[in-house]
Structure 1
């Protein structure tokens, strides 16, 4: 999922900053734009080494004057160094655009690619679940924890897709108007879904895009991956992910109504940006996933969540 460019496509000040991070005798000989990013421009840089070899770095440029993605990602990558989570290694960060044209982060490149096809999902689902359990198992010291999660969406900001069942959406809004359930904090990726997980052959080789890493309930990460699976592959796959997570050893809220709260909350949050979510999926080879199609799947997924009676 790349498009080849010359190194000159990196903006001049940013390019100069990247060059200062290189080793003696190293030089940038190419750049490729990586598809799939929503909040950042992402490029893979090819670096020629003095011994005639090649190595690769990933440059992420973030838009917006108040964007804190680079600093949050830098904190997360520093925290993950030395753990079993296959995350990139931080090389450098310019969180305030002091040296670059925009806030930027430079990290190592990991092999593999996201796999968004329906084929093979039965085998990938437990791998995704086990990887998320491993992320939640990271236990940073209190002073090293990322900031608490922020829920920008509310019951009032949900956007019902055209033709969606108004009764279902009214019930979903009622669910998330209830007080937030108590939870035990965990280290969260906060945007864990198939588009941010790299596969090479049968196994996971990397988890990328840590710009929204947070501290919060494991249910929230599970809910986010579940709704993405529902939109990508069909509602039944979203429903199966929470079960797969628990089968992999993950712990969710004990009360099923509390689990449903987080699942419904993140589904409503996705409703606000269906067009942005679907666009990179189409670019990655899923042209059938139009905004209308994913809206229909979201409506069906919500209906399935709310039709499921609580199991105690």
Structure 2
């Protein structure tokens, strides 16, 4: 057993009606402690513990939302864990096969990602829509900080976000869709995890978030190719200028410093420095602002 979590593991045994014989930590996340559990009958599960603030303070709402969405999506085309038991800040869910695939932005990876995101956006929750999306770029984040090499770009971004959000058609959103929340097996996505932020809002916001993550992980070209793949899959004819607001909203959401997402990448064996992630985030901002800058 892992020291410090005896009480939570005991709760999982009681809720799961199995004796747990092996516990191992899972890497890749930064809001929660994730534990892979194996029972004496060979069954496996995953225990999510919201151990970090401010998420722990809001664990009841976040984990209840995750459990609800997992029940909604059960039987759909989207591979999701099954909620077994909930006692915030703990959520016990079924184990899914597969591994993270953070080290590749090959064409097949981006195409499968794009199709999975399109499937999520096509899901109809009926009358049980999730909450309206929330901005992760409030005014308090719109501040020039020392690592920025192009402060004028960030000034343009902050100015853009002072404008009203564009009109959009509402869609079922994962809201945190990126390579770090996808499990892969034999070239296919075997699991989409982390549904605590599921929302109703513009599809472009989900696309933007996945693209920004790809840009920091693999460079600006990967973000462009993913966005193009999604648009081909959905017939979306939006251009970068039309999507600029949502892209900028997502990018600014990583401030004051994107390094919070970098350590899990290094834990997974990738050699990405804090400075490289920052530079790539700024390059992504330059790319999405280019249409607007060129027209001024």
Give SS of 1:87's match: coil
Aligned with residue 285 of structure 1, among 269, 280, 287: 269
Cα distance change on mapping 1:42 and 1:273 into 2, 3 Å: farther
Instruction: Give me the TM-score of the superposition, normalised by structure 1.
Output: 0.86
Name the residue aligned to 1:153. Answer: 137
Number of aligned residue pairs: give it: 288
**Alpha-carbon spacing, 1:250–1:148, altered in 2? closer, same or farther (3 Å):** farther
Whole-Å Cα distance in 2 between the matches of residues 168 and 269 of structure 1? 15
Match of residue 80 from structure 2:
87
What residue number does 2:40 align with? 48
Regions of 4+ moved over 4 Å: none
Unaligned 5+ runs, structure 2: none
- TM, length-normalised to structure 2: 0.91
Mapped to 1, the partners of 2:291 and 2:253 lie a distance apart of 20
- Write the distance in 2 (CA, Å) between the matches of 1:214 and 1:272: 24
Residue 256 of structure 1: how far off its partner (Å)? 5.0
Q: Does 1:16 align with 2:10?
A: yes
Q: Aligned pair 1:75/2:58, yes or no?
A: no
List runs of 5+ in structure 1 lacking aligned partners.
1-5, 96-102
Cα distance in 1, alignment partners of residues 235 and 205 from structure 2: 13
Counterparts of 1:250 and 1:194 in 2: how far apart (Å)? 23
* Alignment partners' CA distance in 1, 2:187 and 2:240: 33
Counterpart position of 2:22: 30
Report the Cα offset of residue 158 of structure 1: 3.3
Residue 265 of structure 2 is aligned to residue 257 of structure 1: no
Counterpart-to-counterpart distance in 1, 2:192 and 2:242 = 27
Q: 2:109 matched to 1:121?
A: no
> Match for residue 192 of structure 1?
177
CA RMSD of aligned residues (A): 2.0
Q: Identify if the C-alpha distance between structure 1 residues 283 and 159 changes in structure 2 by more than 3 Å, giving closer, same or farther.
A: farther
Choose between structure 1 and 2: higher helix proportion: 2
- Would the aligned equivalents of 1:218 and 1:251 in 2 still touch at CA under 8 Å? no
Name the SS of the counterpart of 2:141 in structure 1. Answer: coil
Tell me if 1:239 matches 2:231. no
Aligned to 1:3: none
